[in-house]
């Protein structure tokens, strides 16, 4: 599949076969095993805690925590760090799947969505009978945290076609990161090429604090980029000079996938994170005149293109 274009004959997409994964949880440091499996048309995406027998729908209204990662929960059961696998599923146009996991955290793997992209490529993706739909943005929606030039904000805008575009800027005091901006139209091809390999990152000064809180126990230079002022501490350096903003945009794709259907619109944000991404979905669904469901989904023939950055409306 090459891009996102609506079609009246669109069918829903799932995995051709189940595929397994295993790795270490970034925060728990525990060994985690699971599978991504096909699901019936119309089932959507869900996480199954196989150790508890609890199914957790992958929806914005089941987000129970957004500190450091996105956490889904129901009936006391939860799964954290879901954003990378959600981004891979959304970036590849998967409508229906079950992510099975035997613990309370998805494995961090190499800190990016590239391992999940590899799993999906190995499993294959197939179309099945069923009506696919997207969420068409009809008018701007905005959420903001803070005031002045340092405010964090996120917006959704209408676009002139059935696709999802995204633009994000970040600004960090660490000079290894600084201010970065990236914009693109999200298609399977450029998700794979431009976003999937971007790794999560942290500042060296934060690591001791996180570990004192019982977090980041599984973090290493093999699964996160660590910066210290102007220095990148990873021996291999960065995968791209703007890997930091690409990873933050990867998180946006994963967090907004919790809308439950692909968004046909343009995301624009500054300094946004998991909490603000989730607030944006809540604001969208609360404004019934700002969006509508449209039939149709991704089929071959769409455009893969990096977009020029533009000022927010």
Domains identified in the chain, total number:
2
Q: Helix count (H) and strand count (E) of the chain?
A: 6, 20
Q: Is 308 among the domain residues?
A: no
pLDDT tens by residue, 40-83: 999 999 999 999 999 999 999 999 999 999 999 999 999 999 99
CATH of the domain at 270: 3.30.1700.10
**Residue 157 designated active-site:** no
Mean pLDDT of the chain: 91
Q: Are residues 51 and 102 in the same domain?
A: yes
- CB of 13 closer than 8 Å to CB of 36: no
Displacement of CA 190 from its chain's centroid (Å):
14
Residue 171 clears pLDDT 50, i.e. is over it: yes
The proportion of the chain whose per-residue pLDDT surpasses 70, expressed as a percent, equals 91
- pLDDT value of position 57: 98
Q: Is 4 among the domain residues?
A: no
Q: Are residues 169 and 212 in the same domain?
A: yes
Average pLDDT rounded to a whole number, residues 134-151: 95
Q: Are residues 147 and 216 in the same domain?
A: yes
Confidence band of 301 (pLDDT split at 50, 70, 90) = very low
Cα 135 to Cα 268: distance, rounded to the nearest angstrom: 17
Cα 103 to Cα 50: distance, rounded to the nearest angstrom: 8
- CB of 289 closer than 8 Å to CB of 158: no
Q: Is 220 among the domain residues?
A: yes
DSSP 61: G
Confidence band of 282 (pLDDT split at 50, 70, 90) = very high
Q: Are residues 278 and 225 in the same domain?
A: yes
Average pLDDT rounded to a whole number, residues 282-307: 70
Displacement of CA 33 from its chain's centroid (Å):
20
Q: Are residues 64 and 183 in the same domain?
A: no
CATH of the domain at 89: 3.30.230.20
Q: Are residues 52 and 99 in the same domain?
A: yes
Q: Are residues 73 and 140 in the same domain?
A: no
Q: Is 310 among the domain residues?
A: no
Q: Is 28 among the domain residues?
A: yes
Q: Out of 274, 282, 295, 297, which one is annotated catalytic?
A: 274
State the pairing for strand pair 164-171/263-270.
parallel
Q: Are residues 51 and 107 in the same domain?
A: yes
Q: Is 230 among the domain residues?
A: yes
- pLDDT value of position 225: 97
- Tally the residues of the chain: 313
Q: Are residues 68 and 175 in the same domain?
A: no
What range does the domain containing 238 cover? 133-295
pLDDT tens by residue, 187-203: 999 999 999 999 999 99
Q: Are residues 164 and 252 in the same domain?
A: yes
Confidence band of 297 (pLDDT split at 50, 70, 90) = low
Q: Are residues 272 and 142 in the same domain?
A: yes
């Amino acid at each position: 599949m090459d891009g996102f274009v609506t079609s009246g004959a669109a069918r829903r997409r799932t995995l051709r076969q189940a595929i397994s994964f295993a790795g270490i949880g970034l925060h728990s440091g525990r060994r985690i095993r699971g599978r991504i499996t096909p699901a019936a048309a119309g089932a959507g995406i869900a996480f199954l805690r196989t150790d508890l027998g609890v199914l957790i729908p992958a929806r914005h209204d089941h987000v129970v925590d957004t500190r450091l990662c996105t956490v889904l929960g129901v009936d006391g059961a939860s799964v954290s760090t879901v954003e990378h696998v959600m981004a891979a599923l959304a970036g590849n146009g998967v409508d229906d799947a079950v992510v099975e996991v035997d613990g309370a955290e998805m494995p961090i793997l190499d800190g990016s969505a590239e391992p999940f992209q590899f799993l999906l490529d190995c499993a294959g993706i197939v179309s099945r009978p069923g009506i696919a739909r997207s969420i068409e943005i009809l008018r701007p929606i905005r959420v903001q945290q803070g005031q002045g030039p340092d405010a964090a904000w996120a917006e959704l805008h209408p676009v002139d076609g059935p696709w999802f575009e995204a633009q994000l800027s970040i600004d960090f005091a660490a000079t290894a990161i600084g201010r970065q901006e990236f914009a693109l139209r999200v298609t399977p091809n450029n998700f794979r090429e431009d976003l999937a390999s971007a790794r999560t990152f942290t500042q060296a000064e934060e690591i001791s604090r996180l570990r004192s809180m019982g977090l980041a126990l599984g973090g290493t230079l093999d699964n996160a980029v660590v910066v210290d002022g102007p220095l990148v501490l990873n021996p291999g350096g960065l995968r791209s000079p703007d890997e930091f903003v690409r990873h933050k945009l990867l998180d946006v794709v994963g967090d907004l996938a919790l809308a439950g259907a692909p968004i046909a619109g343009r995301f624009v944000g500054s300094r946004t994170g998991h909490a603000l991404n989730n607030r944006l979905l809540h604001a969208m669904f609360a404004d019934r005149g700002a969006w509508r469901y449209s039939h149709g989904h991704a089929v071959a023939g769409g455009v893969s293109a990096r977009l020029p950055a533009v000022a927010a409306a």
